[in-house]
Structure 1
Amino acid sequence: MKVTLHELIGEHIRVVPMDKSHIEGLYEAANDENIWAHLPKTIRTLHNMEAFVEEALQAKESGAEFPFVIIHRETGKIVGTTRFLYMSSASKSLEIGWTWFHPSVWGTSVNTECKYLLLQYCFEQLNTIRVQFKTDERNIRSQKAIERLGAVKEGILRNQMIRKDGTFRNSVFYSIIDSDWPSVKQHLEQRLQLTYTGCDKGGVQPCRPGI
């Protein structure tokens, strides 16, 4: 699956392909332990971030993944990252994952706008028929965020991964398919309009318009 985008621009964010120039900005955005509670690794040092970016770019070079950084348009600062994984031209499908944001933008429109831009690109440019998400069964915040997108919960795969502490992880799988996209798109546009003009009442935390 060939991804050839330069950037996706929303009201408050830009979604930009990751490169090595983003290392320091990502490191600054990663300086909160709460980010790493349910992720496969923890980044604590600049060297850790350099390795994280290098691995992501190697996966991009091989065609396996396509990593992005999310930049807040007003401040110009990196506030998080996400990527396409398990990209399959044959199946016309991919996964959006490895998403994390600095807690300063949790509960704002940032994740919704990011996923809206990526999903729009997937279904309207790449012509995918399935986009999937997965998260740790223990990660309730992530599950709620995915469900607010309008994704369908498909089930739980038991012992799907081994956590960094050695415990076995059950993963919750969700998907949005091509026939879902028109209604999901409308739903996300309505949610984003609320955040631009006031507050999304469905949010886990109060919205902060303009973030």
Structure 2
Amino acid sequence: MAEKLSKILADAPVRLEPLADHHLEPLRAACAEDQEIWDIYPVSMLDENFDKAIQSFHNTSNWVRFAVINSGTDTVVGMSNYINPDQTTKVTEIGGTYIAPSVRGSGFNGIMKKLMIDHAFACGFTRIEFRVDTRNKRSMAAVLKLGATHEGTLRKNRITWTNYVRDTAVFGLLKEEWSL
């Protein structure tokens, strides 16, 4: 099932392409557009941390990674992932998402998530999870806007790259609830 997830998804102005080496330098530039946001991410994608993060990606086999492209400008503006897709339970998480400030607030994220959600459900998944640092109010609001349900908060469950011990809000979206 995970192999089926890795394909180009598009609905203007969003195009998701399986992350490849030719996306890395444009992704580095996109990540550098917001220096402050990385403090609320589990890992940093700035400066020398970018290379460390990419190396750790190569060592993780249970993620399906995408470069997020603004098809209007053919520019890499971020990344998103299916995390731990499990064909036995038919559950996957969508996360590790970053989009550049230039496309925030434009509906771009909603289109991107709709593409990913539609595709996961079409591939046989029946539940999608989102796990968000509770300090990231913008992401939590975006997930709720998709129709996901806040199912609880995991207290002090992850140490971020800044050594902050975060609380993680867990959201779930079932196939039968999906209507966007």
Q: TM-score scaled by structure 1? A: 0.79
User: Which 4+ residue blocks in structure 1 deviate beyond 4 angstroms?
Assistant: none
**CA RMSD, 1 decimal:** 1.4
How far is the alpha carbon of 1:99 from its aligned partner?
0.3
Distance 1:117 1:3 in 2: 16
Inter-partner Cα distance in structure 1 for 2:101 and 2:114:
20
Matches within 5 A, 1:45-60: 45=47, 47-59=48-60
Name the aligned partner's letter for residue 36 of structure 1. W
CA distance in 2, matches of 1:75, 1:169: 36
Which residue is 2:89 aligned to? 91
Structure 2, unpaired ranges of 5+: none
Equivalent residue for 1:142, pick from 123, 139, 144 = 139
Rounded Cα–Cα distance in structure 1 between residues aligned with 2:2 and 2:46: 33
Aligned to 2:76: 78
Most deviating of 86-95 and 35-44: 35-44
Structure 1: gaps (5+ residues): 186-211
- Label 1:138 to 1:48 Cα distance change in 2 as closer, same or farther (>3 A): closer
Alignment equivalent of 2:42, drawn from 40, 43, 46: 40
Structure 1 residues 166 and 52 mapped into 2: Cα distance closer, same or farther (>3 Å)? closer
> Which structure exhibits the higher relative contact order, with contacts defined as CA atoms closer than 8 Å and separated by 6 or more residues?
2
Query: Which residue of 2 is the match for residue 162 of structure 1?
Result: 159
2: CA distance between counterparts of 1:2 and 1:167?
A: 32
List aligned pairs for 1:113-192, cutoff 5 A: 113-124=111-122, 126-181=123-178, 183=179, 185=180
Return the offset for 1:160. Answer: 1.2
Partners of 1:2 and 1:100 in 2: how far apart? 21
| Structure 1 or 2: more strand by fraction | 2
TM-score normalised over the length of structure 2: 0.92
| Distance across 2 between alignment mates of 1:6 and 1:173 | 26
Aligned residues: 178
The one-letter code matched in structure 1 to 2:111 is E
Residue 66 in structure 1 maps to residue 64 in structure 2: yes
Confirm or deny: 8 A CA contact 1:6 1:17 kept in the other structure: yes
Residue 57 of structure 1: how far off its partner (Å) = 3.4
